[in-house]
Amino acid sequence: MAAKPKLNVQAFPRPPLLERTPRHLQVKWNGQLIADTKEAYWVLETHHPPTYYLPPSSILVPLTQTSRSSYCEWKGRATYYSITAPSPDKATVANRIWTYQSPTKPFEAIRGYLSLYAGPWDCYVDGERVEPQPGDFYGGWVTSDIDGIVKGKHGNFDPVV
């Protein structure tokens, strides 16, 4: 089997590019599938691994909107959700899932689509478990085909509104 071609994050565009991805995305929590799709978008931005946006129909558990919001210069205002873990622990995790209900014109296609940080659940791209983008500000998913210097480890500011 041939190796996947490398995706060099330094060659990704700025402003970011939004496009459909044929990749199979899954999210599992406590061994239970909580999201599953082959109908996602990804956002590719310089020095960032892809950030995936999943259709609402792919989320297999209930979400509750929280009061948190943030602003992205490219996509607009994001709103956040909480989710309760499947059995056995039933812990609630807030503000690790977000959406753009009124995105800017270039990102209209992801209106209502949901993005998830890579944790506390396990995220998979084509069966490969991803690593989260360094730090806890950006939501990119790092896979073995990502190459280059990934932003996020130091010096980030989270403009919480």
Is 8 domain-assigned? no
User: What pLDDT, in 10s, does the model give residues 65-87?
Assistant: 999 999 999 999 999 999 998 87
Q: Is it the case that residue 17 has pLDDT exceeding 80?
A: yes
User: Please, which residues have CB within 8 angstroms of residue 33's CB and are 6 or more apart in sequence?
Assistant: 26, 27, 60
d(CA 51, CA 43) in angstroms, rounded, equals 5
Say which range, 8-12, 135-139, 155-159, has the weakest mean pLDDT: 155-159
Question: In total, how many domains does the chain have?
Answer: 1
User: Please, which residues have CB within 8 angstroms of residue 102's CB and are 6 or more apart in sequence?
Assistant: 76, 77, 111
In which band, very low, low, confident or very high, does the pLDDT at 160 lie, cut at 50, 70 and 90? Answer: very low
Do 47 and 27 contact (CB within 8 A), yes or no?
no
**Confidence at residue 5, expressed as pLDDT on a 0 to 100 scale:** 85
d(CA 67, CA 80) in angstroms, rounded, equals 7
pTM, two decimal places: 0.91
**Confidence at residue 88, expressed as pLDDT on a 0 to 100 scale:** 77
Range of the domain at 77: 18-147
Q: Is it the case that residue 161 has pLDDT exceeding 60?
A: no
- CATH of residue 103's domain is 2.170.150.40
Is 159 domain-assigned? no
Is 55 domain-assigned? yes
